[in-house]
Chain A
Amino acid sequence: MSRLDLSPRLTAPDAFLAALTERLRGLDEAETRAFSARLILLLANQVGDQAALEEALEIAAGGQEA
């Protein structure tokens, strides 16, 4: 059974994507990496559960949903 919630959950999808894009605007490659790394860690901690995180890693890598 899937633990990662893949149903739409974002309360303001357009606003989130816009804010994320805005944050990345003007960053060079190293700054983008640093920003993305911090964001991944913050969000991963919010998810918490290792099985859910591994599922996210799998989907992000292009694999099939478990």
Chain B
Amino acid sequence: MHSTYAYPRFGYRRSPDQDAPERARHPVVIVGAGPVGLSTAIDLALQGVRVVVLDEDDTVSIGSRAVCYAKRSLDIWDRLGVAAPMVAKGVGWQHGKVFHHDHLVYEFNLLPESGHKMPAFINLQQYYLEDYLVQRARGLPNIELRWKHKVLGVAPAEDGVTLQVETPDGVHALEAEWLVAADGARSAIRRQLGLEFKGQVFRDRFLIADVVMQGDFPAERWFWFDPPFHREQSALLHKQSDNVWRIDLQLGWDADPEEEQKPERVIPRLKAMLGEDKPFELEWVSIYTFQCRRLDRFVHGRVLFVGDAAHQVSPFGARGANSGLQDAENLAWKLRLVLDGLAPAGLLESYDAERVLAADENILNSTRSTDFITPKTPMARALRDAVLDLARDHAFARPLVNSGRLSMPSTYADSALNTPDAAGEDFAGAMVPGAPCTDAPVLKEGRPAWLLEQLGFDFTAMLFAETPAQAQAVAAWAARQAIPVRVLAVAPDAATAAACAAAGLPAVEDHGGLVARRYDARPGTLHLIRPDQHVAARRRRFDPAAFDDALARATGRAPAALEHAA
């Protein structure tokens, strides 16, 4: 088959652990150098944690696989300093179209407002994505990437995990204080621990093909129900980088996976879709089935499951890799605080609670999409077809068309880490405690910048400052905390921003008023933002005692006020 990409070989290297007289012990070992494992490693490394990453292979993803990366993932990768090449190489998009037979029935726009650094989505072959992540990881002294290191067994203990690792040089053992299992949907660690992966397998098969062609289609997500070129089934078209197009064709449960992968079967199907005369080359073909399932818990003592190892969703909605990224960012800062002795290990229970809930949300959405695409009974099929029929002429039916509800970050609305709003303080908008922070354009030292760029790796106390004195009061509070807290002054005008900056405080100017609008802020409003850019607490006025409590709560330590009350 044709190839637009040359797969790198990272190569096996003997590690010092293999020659050490005593078994080596590492603070964090991550198993699996996919997007989620690598991102977890980079996030931890940038926070000062030394990480060893083990991967049984020594190259990147074979095939384009995940393809669609959502804005929240790009926001995370931007914090990790790796989004720029992804956005430059990827194909940005925000519009989707859904067709029934040969007519348009539904359109959507995933980012109807402007004023965000990152696009709504990019499409990028997973091998490029992993390539960039590996390059980023290699540039960080805290990360050691060990290729051709296969984990044969894990033995969990109270204070760590012992791993048996096989390399071309034989088997050796090493210890991890914490083991992050990022070893994918078929996680060997999950199997070795005998953990049940419960859920639903869908009785359907899909052909995915990467095709190289000069396409006439726009950079949009196009989805067909029962199109003339592929009767009774669905089809999906996505543009990727290098003139590679991703095509998904539903085949039904009775399709023979071996037969259907053969070019003599695939090419006629693609010609029917693309036109008999359209020149194209086939780059990659795969047949897959869907499952929606998860582990009961993502935290098992010192073993922490992330990404597909913890939960699996059907691909419609791009909720696999994107939710895995949110696992990574949720876990990294908590693990770092625990390792630094700044938070109790119990903080990791909130990783379990928050990400299990998020997995359920993703599984719910992706199950609904899959049920719509693959109806289970004649009446379910009739309802689905009725939606598509009615959607052509009637607006009411269009929101019912479900070809995939695309990945949005979860709001941890009921998290134990949140501090509820104070009684009598009313806030409008989406930035409730537990919500992921939204971006907005700002000016930094008079130059265009973005709000999310200012948040960094620690907690941030974001103050809508009228005066430098207000910001200094918050900074004095922040300086007293054992947990690192940065202060960000968001000023309504250039003079206030300059005055705050002159007083040594990080400051931006909310020149378009969009930060204030998106966070429903008034002068004096303070948001406490977690290192993973989720809102922990907010108040209309700065109150040190309230924020002492909020910070304690957000780091898994019982707030002082509650302790006194108890």
Report which A residues bind B (CB closer than 8 A): 30, 33-34, 36-38, 40-42, 45
Contacts and interface: CB of A to CB of B under 8 A. Distances in A.
Contacts of B386: 34, 37-38, 40-41
B400 interface: yes
A30 B378 CA distance: 8
B185 interface: no
A34 B390 CA distance: 11
B383 interface: yes
Q: Which 7 A-B pairs have the closest CB atoms?
A: A37-B386, A33-B382, A37-B382, A38-B386, A45-B396, A37-B383, A34-B382
Contact of B378 (A33, A40, A41): A33
Contacts of A41: 383, 386-387, 390, 397, 400
Contact of A38 (B378, B379, B389): B389
A36 B397 CA distance: 15
Contacts of B396: 45
24 contacts: A30-B378, A30-B382, A33-B378, A33-B379, A34-B385, A34-B386, A34-B389, A37-B379, A37-B382, A37-B383, A37-B385, A37-B386, A38-B386, A38-B389, A38-B390, A40-B383, A41-B386, A41-B387, A41-B390, A41-B397, A41-B400, A42-B390, A45-B396, A45-B397
Interface string B364-407: 00000000000000110011011101100000110010000000
Interface string B132-165: 0000000000000000000000000000000000
A33 B390 CA distance: 15
Contacts of B383: 37, 40-41
Nearest to A37: B386
Describe A's contact surface by its main secondary structure.
Answer: helix
Contacts of A33: 378-379, 382
Contacts of A30: 378, 382
A59 B390 CA distance: 26
A21 B271 CA distance: 46
A34 B379 CA distance: 8
A36 B383 CA distance: 8
Contacts of A45: 396-397
Contacts of B397: 41, 45
A45 B389 CA distance: 15
A37 B379 CA distance: 8
A21 to B, nearest CB: 19
A37 B391 CA distance: 13
Given A37-B379, A42-B390, A45-B397, 4 more contacts: A33-B382, A37-B382, A37-B385, A40-B386
B394 to A, nearest CB: 8
Contacts of B382: 30, 33-34, 36-37
B393 to A, nearest CB: 11
A22 B421 CA distance: 58
Nearest to A33: B382
A33 to B, nearest CB: 4
Contacts of A37: 379, 382-383, 385-386
Interface in B175-190: none
Contacts of A36: 382
A36 B378 CA distance: 12
Nearest to B381: A33
A40 B382 CA distance: 11
A41 B390 CA distance: 9
Nearest to B389: A38
Interface string B514-553: 0000000000000000000000000000000000000000
A8 B391 CA distance: 31
B293 to A, nearest CB: 27
A33 B377 CA distance: 11
A40 B389 CA distance: 13
Contacts of B387: 41
